[in-house]
Amino acid sequence: MKKYLLLLVLLPFLSLKLSLRSAMAQEFDPEVLADTLNAKIENSRSEIGLMNRLKVTGYIQAQWQKADTIGISSYAGGNFPKYSDNRFGIRRGRVKFTYENELSTFVVQLDATEKGVGVKDAYLAVREPWAEFATLTAGVFDRPFGYEISYSSSTRETPERSRIFQSLFPGERDLGAKITLQPRKGSRFDFIKLDAGLFAGNGINAEFDSHKDFIGRLGMSKANKAENFKFGLGLSYYNGGTLQGTKFVYSPGTLPDGSTLGFIVDSTSNNKYDFARRQYMGADLQLSLFSAIGLSTLRAEYITGKQPGSKSSNVSIATGTAPDYDTYLREVSGGYIYFIQNIGQTKHQFVAKYDWYDPNTDVNGNEIKSKNSEGKSTGLSAADIKYNTIGLGWNYRFNTHIKFTAYYDIVKNETTGITGVNSTNNFTKDLKDNVFTFRIQYKF
């Protein structure tokens, strides 16, 4: 009886031993071992392939700024606080995720600053597989107008884009879709590129009407055989509209007194919820020459067109809410000229820039008055004043990741007949609104 009980006790252990022997035999079986290794290699290849397709890049710009006067309005990174003439800030804190397959790309870019976190880019791009000549891009991305919009803020030699671009294209991005036509790299005409698309027209905000804006650019970029001289050209066109929130639409003209320029109102009832024309034409040029003194670069761009706005603003709409104000129609023009000089083969770079923006080409200087001789409103305001800005700067590339920038904006407004209650809005003289920027950028 004891023998039978001992056998019952040892039986589970004998079964476990046989199972282990069987597993070990399978583990060291050459065929089983080869299958296991192949499966692990395939999994590793899949994970490596995924990592190779996904690219994470980004940069952060920490800066300190000093203005001539407290509380000034500024295009050097936004208006200053009411009680301050200097400030620290994170101008941009970008993280970009790019996932690429053979014929498609997925991109999401976030911007994190002391003001919060927001989406800068969120789009997909699909390239046709036959000639690889056409690409469809849809989502939130840079408007394909001009050169400066798509020129990355991490690479740009100045802290900010020109005033006219910040006014006509606030935020640079828009919600829409475009087609890009460009011959495959290495082909005879691969230096020519055409972008054309339809966009919401109010930035990356939710749409509030059914109207779509057209934006297109035809550009080319080419180098000589030695590749020490490069040039680029571009022509851009924008054709869209802005919803009119009321029936009151104002256009530039001579007021009833016969001598004063201002805005003439059209109050036809059909004006309400119609669309005011928004139209720009632009041309851009880029030249660069590498010589013994270093890389020399010249860039220029000019824009002219029709810009609807309000009485107090000439900036394009950039909200998700339909406008509820009267519409003011203006003819605008502006542009910029850059000169950038790398100092030999050193890490130093000098930059000079001139940019201008005239938001109402029908009036100039002292013609801009808030009231006529009879004491009646002209409709003119600070939104009709022309600005010229001269920028002088220095960049130092500490290494491949870190760049230091020191830059001074000298801002000049035309003097007018518009008086103000303090030094920040008295346009009978040039405002004291120059800004110095010192910035440190880290890029990866």
Residue 114 DSSP class = T
pLDDT at 17: 52
Nearest to 259 by CA among 373, 91, 158, 429: 373
Whichever domain contains 338, its CATH number is 2.40.160.10
Residue 277 lies in a domain: yes
CA atoms within 13 A on the CB side of 327: 28
pLDDT score for 267: 97
| pLDDT score recorded for residue 186 | 87
Token readout for 189 is 């005409």
Cα Rg of the chain, angstroms: 30
Considering the domain boundaries, does residue 17 fall inside one? no
Domain annotation covers residue 389: yes
According to DSSP, the residues that pair with 239 across neighbouring strands are 214, 279
pLDDT attached to residue 7 = 47
Residue 61 inside a domain? The answer is yes
Structural domain contains residue 182: yes
Residue labelled with tokens 């976190």: 117
Helix axes 2-27, 30-53, angle to 10 degrees: 50
Number of domains in the chain: 1
Q: Is residue 14 part of a domain?
A: no
DSSP code of residue 98: E
CA distance 314 to 93: 28
Whether 353 is in a domain gets the answer yes
Residue 312: give the domain boundaries.
Answer: 54-443
Q: Tokens for 230? A: 């490069």
**Which tokens belong to 18?**
């046989």
pLDDT of residue 9: 45
CB burial of 315-343 (b: ≥16 within 10 Å; e: otherwise) equals bbbeeeeebeebbbbbebbbbbbbebbbe
Mean pLDDT by 10 residues, the chain (444 residues): 47 50 55 66 66 93 98 96 97 98 96 96 97 96 98 97 98 97 92 98 93 98 94 98 97 90 96 97 98 97 98 96 96 98 97 98 94 89 97 98 98 93 87 98 98
Asked, for residue 20, whether it belongs to a domain, the answer is: no
